[in-house]
């Protein structure tokens, strides 16, 4: 099922009077939950879309807010970018343009069912350990004296 292509409106910068109107509407405070006072000189002010343009938002003044730059960067990284990426994955999957992921090849698992694991008894069996006779292990001869 192919969806019609989504037309993303290009970002339009705000005019000076629109910035002033937003600042008055927000009482000079950041629109994010921090609510700190906006200070364009020290940390900068960014106009953010409530609904991102890539998610169907518009450039209307009702969809715009003024945010402190650190808050705006955090919102973009934590909220907007993951939502846009998910939307793009869904659209690609529905259009059939997303290729299926291959399974990661696995290494043989020593703990898998049906595979016999070496035990201490099997390692020490046969009076031989690492190619030496049992009498040579530990640096002792047959008399029990150190060599």
- Interval 6-28: pLDDT, tens: 678 888 889 999 999 999 999 99
pLDDT in tens, 60-103: 999 999 999 999 999 999 999 999 999 888 888 888 776 777 77
- Residue 22: in which H helix or E strand, if any? helix 16-25
Q: Identify the residue with better confidence: 56 or 111.
A: 56
Q: Identify the residue with better confidence: 90 or 130.
A: 90
End-to-end CA distance of the chain: 82
CA of 87: how far to CAs of 5, 6, 81, 90, in Å? 13, 11, 10, 5
Nearest to 68 by CA among 94, 40, 88: 40
Q: Going by C-beta distance under 8 Å and a sequence separation of 6 or more, which residues neighbour residue 80?
A: 52, 54, 55
Nearest to 53 by CA among 7, 105, 90: 7
């Amino acid at each position: 099922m192919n969806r019609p292509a989504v037309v993303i409106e290009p970002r339009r910068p705000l005019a000076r009077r629109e910035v002033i109107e937003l600042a008055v509407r927000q009482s000079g405070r950041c629109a994010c939950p921090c609510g700190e006072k906006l200070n364009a000189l020290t940390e900068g002010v960014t106009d953010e879309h409530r609904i991102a343009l890539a998610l169907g938002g518009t450039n209307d003044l009702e969809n715009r807010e003024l945010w402190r730059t650190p808050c705006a960067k955090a919102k973009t990284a934590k909220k907007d970018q993951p939502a846009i990426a998910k939307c793009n994955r869904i659209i690609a999957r529905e259009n059939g343009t997303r290729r299926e992921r291959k399974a990661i090849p696995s290494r043989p698992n020593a703990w898998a069912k049906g595979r016999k694991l070496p035990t201490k008894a099997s390692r020490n069996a046969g009076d031989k350990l690492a190619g030496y006779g049992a009498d040579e292990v530990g640096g002792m001869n047959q008399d029990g004296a150190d060599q």
